[in-house]
Structure 1
Amino acid sequence: MTTASGLPAIRESVQWAVLDVPGGSSALVDLAEAAVEHYALNYSKHPPAVLLDEVRATRNLLSTVVAEAAPVTARGLRQQVGWLSALLGNLAYHLDDRSGARAHLTLAGAIGESTREAALTAWSSGALAMVATARHDWQHARNHAEYGLQHAPAGLRRAQLLGWALLPTLAALGHAERADDVVSESDEIMRAAVELPGRFGYDAAEHRLHVAEAHLTLERYDRAADVARTSITAAPEHTPGWVAATLVLALAEARDAPDQAAGRALDILDLIPPSRLRATARTRLTRLEHALGTSAIGPGADLTARLRALPAPIRPDGTAA
């Protein structure tokens, strides 16, 4: 567990370690790795804007040491800078800053290549596929996904790249048979894999979320709803993953049970403060609004009103809402 004060304390510990040995040390590499682990494991416990500030500050502290460090130490620090850059990319994406996300993730992937950190290269490629998918750039999304799969270690990492990166692209392109093959392969891996927690991990709840969304894209609404329910059951209540699965279920219900779908969305808006509502959730809410229609008396009327009143994640002056 972590607290609001515990978050900046991690960055302060890194700062003290840099002051203690300005040229870097193996202990600083270990501390940097622990900081990355802390941010990844507690990713969902903090508003994205708050966590982004802390991760950025920690990355900057490490960057002051790399040039003066011994080669082995410098390589270890660069790897952790790569993982921090990957976190920054994901945080930017969740704040609806897609160009920023692309920049950070491209750096993370480049550092993964130069330091031969295959897991970082694979994960960054998967995240770049996610960003490309969000802008409907299907060819780049598929290229990133396939590149990530070339570098992904066997087991859970491969399942992650299949379900998170490749499957959404195949579904969007209407390649239903190939998408089903990917679901079968990744399901088989997940049955034998040991799940990993945190932002860089992968578990059954997240995997079922991506499968449900693929079925939704392919207009298999009943299957999407069934799989989304399994994701909701597996995810801790009120977490971003739980929110995402609940909204996918609402989208699957929108055609045949619009009042129920709208109710689920309104419950999310009642439960989750705007600062903790990721851009991905906002996108699903907007999709649901369109699916329900914008009639002043229809089931989506209250949702439309609530979404119009929702503050943007980043204000026009660049500060977080």
Structure 2
Amino acid sequence: MTTDAGLPAVRESLHLALLVDPAGSSTVVDLAQAAVEHYATHYNRHPPALLFSEVRAARALLTEALIEPVILDSVAVELRRTVGWLSALLGNASFHCDDTSGARAHLAAALTYGTRSGDARLTTWVLGAQSMLARSAGQYDSALALAEQGLALAPPALARAQIHAWAQLPALAGQGRTAEADAALADARRALDADPTGFAPGRFGFDAAELALHEAEAHARLGRTAQATTCAETSLTACLPDTPGWAAASLVLAQAEAAEQPTDAAQRAVGVLDRIPAARLRSTARDRLIRLGRQLGTTDAAGVTELHDRIRTLPPHIDSHGAATA
């Protein structure tokens, strides 16, 4: 568990350690790695704009240490690796704030540091995130190429399951390549089954609920509504209520329901808006809401008009002056 005060407290502890050892030390390395773990583990508990600010401040502290002329090589290697993970978090938080150009920049930095430090897990994750970014822009060829680069580097088991499901599967489904998408899904399941824990928490983790969510969206993209509904229900059941994963599963289920059960779909989406504050509603959830609104169109089913109004009046993550709206 953590509170909003936990985020600045971690950064302040890192700052205190660097005041004692400005060029870093094994203690600073341990603390920096603990900071990455804290931000990643508790990513879902905080609005993305708030998390972005804290992670950026922590990365800036490590940048100052890296330019110290007396830094030990062993310390520098680990701090560069940590800078890569922090940059990956910044890229994801930017994407969730609907800042795609910022996400591209931060993920490019993360890829550079992941490659230079030889961290295959970091590099694989970043390529998956870049694939997601390309897919969100409708660039399915690029998304698939990035997914395949990630698969070539992916460590076994959980990391491999993640990139199959998060990057390769949706790219193939977006291209309408049904047989290959089914093969990617089967590969993801096998890789997840091969992991001794079966899941990992946090922003860089992966579990069965996330797998079911990606499967649901792939089925929906391929026109298999019944399978999409079943998988979305499976994901929803596995999620903690009122979390980003719960919101995503709820909205994917609403999209699957829209054609045959428009009232249920609209009311489910309104329920998400009632329970998730706008500041915590990620760009991915907003995109799903917009797509659902288009699916429902002008049908006179109960709740549809309210949903259209609620979507239309959602405040942006970032206002016209570049400030977070919450």
So what's the TM-score if we normalise by structure 1? Answer: 0.98
Query: 1:193-218, CA deviations, whole angstroms, 9 ceiling, x for partnerless residues?
Result: 22110000101111111111100111
The SS at the match of 1:198 is coil
The SS at the match of 2:112 is helix
Matched, 1:237 2:233: no
The SS at the match of 1:242 is helix
The SS at the match of 1:36 is helix
Q: Corresponding residue for 1:57? A: 57
In structure 2, distance between residues paired with 1:197 and 1:265: 26
Q: Corresponding residue for 1:160? A: 162
**Alignment check: 8 A CA contact 2:266 2:302 kept:** no
- Alignment equivalent of 2:137, drawn from 98, 122, 135: 135
The SS at the match of 1:154 is coil
Structure 2 counterpart of 1:273, one-letter code: P
The SS at the match of 1:136 is coil
**Alignment check: 8 A CA contact 1:67 1:74 kept:** no
In structure 2, distance between residues paired with 1:209 and 1:295: 27
Q: Corresponding residue for 1:224? A: 228
User: Following TM superposition, by how much is the alpha carbon of 1:298 offset from its aligned partner in structure 2, in angstroms?
Assistant: 6.6
Query: 1:39-59, CA deviations, whole angstroms, 9 ceiling, x for partnerless residues?
Result: 000000011110100000000
Where do 5+ consecutive residues of structure 2 fail to align?
none
User: Following TM superposition, by how much is the alpha carbon of 1:192 offset from its aligned partner in structure 2, in angstroms?
Assistant: 3.1
Q: Corresponding residue for 2:309? A: 305
Matched, 1:121 2:123: yes
In structure 1, distance between residues paired with 2:272 and 2:298: 19
In structure 2, distance between residues paired with 1:31 and 1:301: 50
User: Following TM superposition, by how much is the alpha carbon of 1:70 offset from its aligned partner in structure 2, in angstroms?
Assistant: 1.0
Q: Corresponding residue for 2:6? A: 6
- Listed as ranges, the matches of 1:308-319 within 5 Å are 308-319=312-323
Q: Which moved more, 1:285-294 or 1:298-307?
A: 298-307
Matched, 1:279 2:286: no
**Alignment check: 8 A CA contact 2:170 2:217 kept:** yes
- Alignment equivalent of 2:108, drawn from 86, 106, 109: 106
Where do 5+ consecutive residues of structure 1 fail to align?
none
Q: Corresponding residue for 1:66? A: 66
The SS at the match of 2:323 is coil
- Listed as ranges, the matches of 1:144-293 within 5 Å are 144-193=146-195, 194=197, 195-293=199-297
In structure 1, distance between residues paired with 2:263 and 2:192: 35
In structure 1, distance between residues paired with 2:16 and 2:153: 35
**Alignment check: 8 A CA contact 1:95 1:313 kept:** yes
In structure 2, distance between residues paired with 1:19 and 1:251: 52
Structure 1 counterpart of 2:60, one-letter code: N
User: Following TM superposition, by how much is the alpha carbon of 1:142 offset from its aligned partner in structure 2, in angstroms?
Assistant: 0.9
Q: Corresponding residue for 2:324? A: 320
Structure 1 counterpart of 2:298, one-letter code: T
Query: 1:268-314, CA deviations, whole angstroms, 9 ceiling, x for partnerless residues?
Result: 01001000000000000000000000357775211111111110111
In structure 1, distance between residues paired with 2:183 and 2:163: 14
* Number of aligned residues: 321
**Alignment check: 8 A CA contact 1:294 1:304 kept:** no
Q: Over the residues paired in the alignment, what is the CA RMSD in angstroms?
A: 1.1
